[in-house]
């Protein structure tokens, strides 16, 4: 007997991604996500979300949540995401995210979620006291992606496991409901340097707003002097900058700084090493600080302008929610029909 492969998904090529409304965006958010979002809108129909439903798994201050969502929208626009070309909206404004997540809860298996390493990292030794939402949020993440039948998702290495879960849920839905290719199996987009930015003080840890020391990260709103001081104090070693990629092995902090330089200037790591190989960090670090300040200064200025004009941000978000619903609602109507829900 010959296995018959199902036909390939023929729908639109569409990108979906999102960011949580957190307090204090940093260089990792810019290089790991926002810079890529801008680039992807040249190639795809792009839908970019501010995932406030995910945010409440960690108990943010309700009085601050809406403003933080606006701040992320401001960062999207300031970084170069064009709301006329891409869809920018807040997750909770499209109710179908929650509805599809419940259906997917009935598709996903407990064992799949128990293997999610990010839950183990976040819950630590307090898993039994963690919320069901924190355990289950990868299913909502799958719903976020598949509600728009997204075919591509820009992800970091630490998110690949969650995208695999989305693919598993899509495949099981298609199979269980005898609906071949109803949902696509979304592909990861991991693009060059900047996919994972590490702490300035510890190359084994991801750059994070939750680190108690502000010296571990470059904030998107840092001025040139703050950037210079943080880069000067970034951990390196006594050796010069290597002239080959192989020379970065075992030098995590140096590799991180070289990767940041490459990502900010949109050059290859090899190109950076050819320029600075053999030179000391007294030369390399000021050059890195200069390109960082040049890149971030106009973005920070535009973020400040937009954050001072919430009416403009709300108009962008309302328009984005309307565009998102125009895609999501017909797909959700199809899902209800496939599942067999009653309709008047």
Query: Which residues form the catalytic set?
Result: 122, 206, 209
Around Cβ 215, how many Cβ atoms within 10 Å? 14
User: By three-state DSSP, how is residue 280 classified?
Assistant: coil
Name the strands in the sheet holding 45-50, side by side, starting at the edge strand that comes first in the sequence.
87-90, 45-50, 14-19, 152-154, 187-189
Cβ atoms of residues 32 and 197 within 8 Å = yes
- Nearest-angstrom CA–CA distance, 154 and 156: 7
- Give the end-to-end CA distance of the chain in Å, rounded to a whole number: 44
- Nearest-angstrom CA–CA distance, 196 and 250: 17
Token couple for 236: 């390196």
Around Cβ 64, how many Cβ atoms within 10 Å? 12
- For residue 89, the cross-strand partners are 49
Rg (CA), the chain: 21
Cβ atoms of residues 91 and 147 within 8 Å = no
Torsion of Cα atoms, 98 then 99 then 102 then 108, to 10°: -90
Token couple for 23: 């307090």
- Nearest-angstrom CA–CA distance, 33 and 191: 10
DSSP H stretches of helix in the chain? 27-29, 35-40, 52-55, 62-79, 96-105, 110-114, 117-123, 132-146, 160-176, 224-232, 252-265, 269-276, 281-307, 310-339
- Nearest-angstrom CA–CA distance, 128 and 123: 8
């Amino acid at each position: 007997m010959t296995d018959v492969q199902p036909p390939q998904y023929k729908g639109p090529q569409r990108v979906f991604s999102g960011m949580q409304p957190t307090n204090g965006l940093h260089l990792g958010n810019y290089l790991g996500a926002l810079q890529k979002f801008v680039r992807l809108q040249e190639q795809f129909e792009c839908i970019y979300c501010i995932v406030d439903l995910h945010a409440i798994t960690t108990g943010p201050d309700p009085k601050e949540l809406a403003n933080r969502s606006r701040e992320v929208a401001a960062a999207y626009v300031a970084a170069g995401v064009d709301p006329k070309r891409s869809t920018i909206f807040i997750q909770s404004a499209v109710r179908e995210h929650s509805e599809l997540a419940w259906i997917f809860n009935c598709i996903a298996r407990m064992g799949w979620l128990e293997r999610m390493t990010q839950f183990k990292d976040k819950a630590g030794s307090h898993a039994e006291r963690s919320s069901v939402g924190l355990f289950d949020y990868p299913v909502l993440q799958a719903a976020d992606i598949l509600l728009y039948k997204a075919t591509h998702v820009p992800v970091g290495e630490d998110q690949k496991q969650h995208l695999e879960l989305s693919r598993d849920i899509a495949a099981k839905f298609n199979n269980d409901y005898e609906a071949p290719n109803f949902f696509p199996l979304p592909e990861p987009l991991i693009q060059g340097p900047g996919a994972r930015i590490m702490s300035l003080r510890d190359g084994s840890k991801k750059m994070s707003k939750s680190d108690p020391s502000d010296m571990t990260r470059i904030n998107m709103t840092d001025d040139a002097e703050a950037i210079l001081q943080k880069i000067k104090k970034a951990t390196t070693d006594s050796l010069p900058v290597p002239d080959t990629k192989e020379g970065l092995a075992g030098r995590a902090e140096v590799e991180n700084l070289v990767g940041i330089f490459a990502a900010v200037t949109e050059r290859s790591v090899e190109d950076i090493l050819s320029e600075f190989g053999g030179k000391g960090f007294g030369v390399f670090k000021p050059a890195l600080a200069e390109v960082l300040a040049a890149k971030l200064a106009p973005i920070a200025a535009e973020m400040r302008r937009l954050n001072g004009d919430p009416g403009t941000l709300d108009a962008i978000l309302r328009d984005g929610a309307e565009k998102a619903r125009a895609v999501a609602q017909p797909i959700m109507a199809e899902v209800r029909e496939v599942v067999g829900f009653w309709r008047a």
